[in-house]
Structure 1
Amino acid sequence: MDPRISKQRTALVLDQPFFGALALRLKVIEDPSCTTFWTDSVSIGYNPTYLASLNDLETRGVLAHEVLHVANGHCWRQGDRDSDLWNDACDHAINPIIVDAGMLLPKGVLMDARFRGMSAEEIYGILAQEKRQKQKQQGEGQKDGGKPGGQSGQQAGDPPGGSSPPQSANGANTPSEGSDPAASADTAPSCGEVRQYAADDRAKQEAEWKVAVHQAAKAAQMRGGMPGALQGMIAQAVEPAVDWRAILHRFAQESSPTDYSFAMPNRRYLHMRLYLPSLHEPAVGDGVFVRDASGSVWDETQAQFAAEILAVNDAVRPRRLIVMDCDTRVTQVQTFERGEAVELLPVLGGGGTSFVDPFRRLAHEGIHPAFLVYLTDMDGAFPGEEPAYPVLWASTTPLKRARQAPFGEMVEVIC
C-alpha cells in the first residue's frame, strides 16, 4: 500500500470516524490497469500515476468516495443498467455528501445540484433519458447537415466563447445555468469507479456491509461526526429492500375473488363419503393498468412495468386487460380479452400530468374493474372522488418524497 494512502486512511479514522471505520474493511491494492480508483466492496484499487496527481486532502476525499459507494450499496444495485452511466449516477449521488462532510474532491468530479438527495437509480433514469434525447438531437442535426442548435464547432450546452464551467468551493465543476447536463456527463471524469461484487455470496456480503454501516454510523454519532445528509443516506442504505413486483402481484391476487363453496364438493374426498367445499374462483373482472405518459417515467421503468403487466395478466387472467396511457388526458387505450395474445404498444404521450381522465373514462364507459394499477411519479392532479375498486399507485418517486395519494395503496417502484 502506498504510504500516502495509509496516512490518509488513518486521518479518516481520526477525523471522519464513519468513513475511517469502513475504510479499514477494504483491502488496498495497486492496480496500474485502472484509470483512477475503484472498489468492489472487498478492495480499493488505485492507479499510482493518478494517485501522484492528487494532494493529500484529495486522496482522503477519494478514499471516502470509494467507501461511500460501498456503504450506499452501489456494488450490488446496478442490475442490467449501463455500467458507465450507472457509475456517473452513483457519483452524482455521493459526491455532494463527501463535500458536505468537509472533505475535498479532485477538480471536475460529477456533482449536479439537480440531483441532491436523489438515489442513484433516480439519477440514472434522468441521465439515461437525457442521453437518448441528446443522441436523437444529434441524429436530427446530422440529417439537417449541421450540428444541433446551429452552432458549428460547439457542442450543445457548451458555454459561449469556450469558457470553462464554474467551479464549486471545493474545486468540483458544477453545471452552469442553461448547460446540457448530459453533455457534461460525457466528459467529466470519475475519481473512483464502482464495480459490481461478482462472487456467489453476494447476499451475505451485502448483509454484512449493512451491519457494518449501521455500526459505523452509531459509533460516529456518539462522537458527533455525522452530517445530516450522510445520516439520511445511511438510513436509506440499511433499510430493508421491498420488492415492488411482489406487492403488485399480491395486490392483483387479493383483488381477485376466491372463496370456498359446497356447490361443487371437493372430489378428492368423495370416495370417503366426505362432502367438503371446493375452492371457488369466480371469473376475475377487468384488470386496468395506467402508464404515466408525461415523460417523467423513464423508459427502463416503463419496460419493466410492461413486463409485470404481462406477468400479472398470465397469473390472474382477468376478463379483460385494459392498458391506458395518460399524460393530462388518456392518449392510448389497449384492450385484450382473456386468452388473447398481449403485445403492448410503446407508451404514447409526452405532455403534463393529471390522474383524473382514466378514472373519469372508466366511469363514463360503465367499467368497474377488479383493480387498477397506476405507474407514475405521483406529481399530478388527483381525482376528487375515490372509486369503488381497489387502486395501487406504483410510485417512481421514493415514498418519503412522493405526494401522498388521497386513496388507494402506494408502492415504491425503483427499477
Structure 2
Amino acid sequence: MVEDPSCRTFWTDGESLGYNPAYLGGLNDLETRGVLAHEVLHVANGHCWRQGDRDPKLWNDACDYAINPIVYDAGMQLPKGVLVDARFKGKSAEEIYGILAQEKRQKEKQQGNGKKDGGKPDAQPGQQSTPQSAQQPGGTPGGNSPPQSANGATTPCATPESGTSPEAAPSCGEVRQYRGDDKAQKEADWKVAVLQAAKAAKMRGGMGGALEGVVQVAVEPVVDWRAILQRFAQESSPTDYTFAMPNRRYLHMGLYLPSLNEPAVGDAVFVRDSSGSVFDETQAQFDAEILVVNETVRPRRLIVMDCDTRVKQVQIFERGDAVELLPVRGGGGTSFVDPFKRLADEGIQPTFLVYLTDMDGAFPIDEPSYPVLWASTVPLRRAKKAPFGEMMEVIC
C-alpha cells in the first residue's frame, strides 16, 4: 500500500496499490471495499501487463468498463461516476478498447466536419453526456447496481471530477503498467494467486458466474497469433525431398542424397472483413502480417479481398511486385460466401486462404478443397464456430 497524494483516486501496477488519502477519506466503508475489489480485479485480469502501445487513458477506460460490471455482479458498491455500459458486459479490455478507439475517431471526424460546416458535431455513438445528478447508482439500497437510464438500460457515466473530459482520471482507480524486469514471473505469480483464490471461493460456494469468467481469462495461455499465421502459411506451402535435384553439398563425398524441393507456391488469398466490426488497429496489424507472410512464403500471386456482404475490393500482386495495401473498403453487413464463390467462379485454386473477421456472418455451405484459416477478432470461447477450416484468435 502506497499513500500517494499526487494521484487523484487509486492506482495499481500489479505490485503496489496507491491511494490518495483525501479521496479515500470521502468514501464510505462499502465504497472502499468496492474500489479495492476493482483494483485487485484489474491485476487478476492482467490489465497491468497488456497495455502495449495503446493510449493509456483509453486503455484505462476500457479496463474499467470490463471490471465494473463484475464488481456490481458480486453485490458490491462503487463510488458515483464509475464507467459502466451494458454493451461491454462480458467483453475483454482489448475488445472494448477497439470499440472506444473507433468511436473516438468517429467523434473527432464529426467534430471536424462540424467545424467546417459551422455547426455542432453529433454526439459520439453509444455515449451520452449525462448530468451529474442523473449519475447516481440506482437499484437496491446500498447502491450496488450500475447507473441506469430512464428506459432501464445501463449507461456510461462520466468521472466525478470533470464530466466526460478526456483528461479526467479513471472513475475510481488507474491501471499502470508493471515496469519491473520480472514481468513474466509477476504475471505467472498472479495467475497462481487467482487460481488459489477461485478454489477457496468455490469451497465456500461464493463463486459467481462473472468471477468464473475472470478466472478463465486470467489463466488462459497467451498464444501469439502471428506465429500461428506463419505456421499455417508455411505448412500449406508444399515442400518435399527429391532425387531429381541431388543435394550438391554431398556430391564431392560420393553421396547421392535428395535435396529439399520447394515448388513455387501458388496463390495466397487474404480476406479482410470490411463490415466495420473489425477495428482499424487490428486491420493495420493484420496488414503488416500479410506483408510478412508474403515475403516469407513468396506466393505466385498475393490476392487481398475486402468483403462485407459482397467483395468490395480486390488487390492482386504478382511475385516481386511492391505490395502497398489500400485502405479497407466496405461498411455493410457480414457474409463470408462471396469470396469463396468468386474464387470458384474464376477457377482460382489458392494454396491457402486466411479470413480476418469477427466470425458473425453467414458461412458457405460447401467446404473448399484448399486450407482455410479463420482469424477471429472475438475470443474463441465466444466466437461462432466455423463449419470448416482452422480458427485462431487475433486480439490486438
Aligned residue in 1 for 2:373: 392
Q: Give the CA deviation at 1:342.
A: 0.7
Look up the SS of the partner of 2:245 in the other structure.
coil
Q: Among 21, 33, 49, which residue is 2:6 paired with? A: 33
1:4 aligned residue: none
Quick check: 1:94 aligned with 2:67? yes
1-side partners of 2:157 and 2:148: how far apart? 13
Question: How far 1:176 moved relative to its partner?
Answer: 6.2
Preserved CA contact (<8 Å) 1:36 1:46:
yes
Aligned counterpart in structure 1 of residue 52 of structure 2, from 63, 79, 99: 79
Cα deviation code 1:323-374 (max 9, x no counterpart): 0000111111111111111111110111111111111111111111000000
Quote the residue 1:5 is aligned against: none
In structure 2, do the counterparts of structure 1 residues 271 and 225 end up closer, same or farther at CA, with 3 Å as the change threshold? same
The answer (yes or no) to whether the contact 2:375–2:394 under 8 Å persists in 1 is yes
Question: What CA distance in whole angstroms lies between the structure 1 residues aligned with 2:65 and 2:132?
Answer: 24
Q: d(CA) in 2 for partners of 1:130 and 1:179?
A: 18
Residues in 1 aligned to 2:197 and 2:136: alpha-carbon distance in whole angstroms = 35
Q: Which residue identity is paired with 1:164? A: A
Rounded Cα–Cα distance in structure 2 between residues aligned with 1:404 and 1:163: 45
Distance 1:179 1:116 in 2: 10
* Cα 1:162–1:41 shift into 2, 3 Å: closer
**2:81 and 2:157 in contact (8 A); partners too:** no
Q: CA deviation at 1:278?
A: 0.4
Shift of 1:173: 3.3
Give the secondary structure class of the aligned counterpart of 1:148: coil
- Secondary structure, in 3 states, of the residue corresponding to 1:340? coil
Aligned to 1:355: 336
Name the residue aligned to 1:372: 353
State the Cα distance separating 1:269 from its structure 2 match. Answer: 1.1
Matched, 1:53 2:11: no
Q: Conserved in 2, the CA contact under 8 Å of 1:252 and 1:371?
A: yes
Aligned to 1:157, which of 128, 153, 159?
Answer: 128
2:216 paired with 1:214: no
> Per-residue deviation at 1:271?
1.2
Displacement after TM superposition at 1:157 (Å): 3.4
Alignment RMSD, CA only? 2.1
1:309 maps to which of 286, 290, 293: 290
Which residues of structure 1 form unaligned runs of 5+?
Answer: 1-27, 151-155
SS at match of 1:304: helix
Shift of 1:148: 2.3
Deviations 1:219-267 (A, max 9, x none): 2211222111101111111111111111111100000000000001111
Runs of 4 or more, structure 1, over 2 Å off, are 156-159, 161-189
* Alpha carbons 2:81, 2:136 under 8 Å: kept: no
CA contact (8 A) 1:292 1:327 kept: yes
Q: Aligned residue for 1:412?
A: 393
1:186 Cα offset (Å): 3.3
8 Å CA contact 2:107, 2:122 repeated in 1: no
Aligned to 2:220: 239
Q: 1:289 to 1:180 in 2, by over 3 A?
A: farther
Is 1:132 the counterpart of 2:105? The answer is yes
Give the partner amino acid of 2:12: T
Matches of 1:341 and 1:382, distance apart in 2? 33
Amino acid across the alignment from 2:79: P
Q: Is the 8 A contact 2:80 2:135 kept in 1?
A: no
Q: Report the Cα distance in structure 1 between the residues aligned to 2:283 and 2:230, rounded to whole angstroms.
A: 17
For 1:332, the equivalent position in structure 2 comes to 313
How much does 1:196 deviate? 0.4
Residue aligned with 1:264, SS? strand
What's the offset of the Cα at 1:92?
A: 0.7
Residues 11-46 of structure 1 deviation map (CA, whole Å, 9 limit, x = unaligned): xxxxxxxxxxxxxxxxx0100111100000110000
> Residue 335 of structure 2 contacts residue 362 of structure 2 at CA under 8 Å; is this kept in 1?
yes
**Per the alignment, do residues 52 and 182 of structure 1 end up closer, same or farther by CA in structure 2, a change over 3 Å counting?**
closer
SS at 1:290's partner residue?
strand
State the shift of 1:399 in Å: 1.1
Task: State which of 244, 249, 253 in structure 2 corresponds to 1:272.
Answer: 253
TM-score by length of 1: 0.88
Deviation at 1:413, TM superposition (A): 0.8
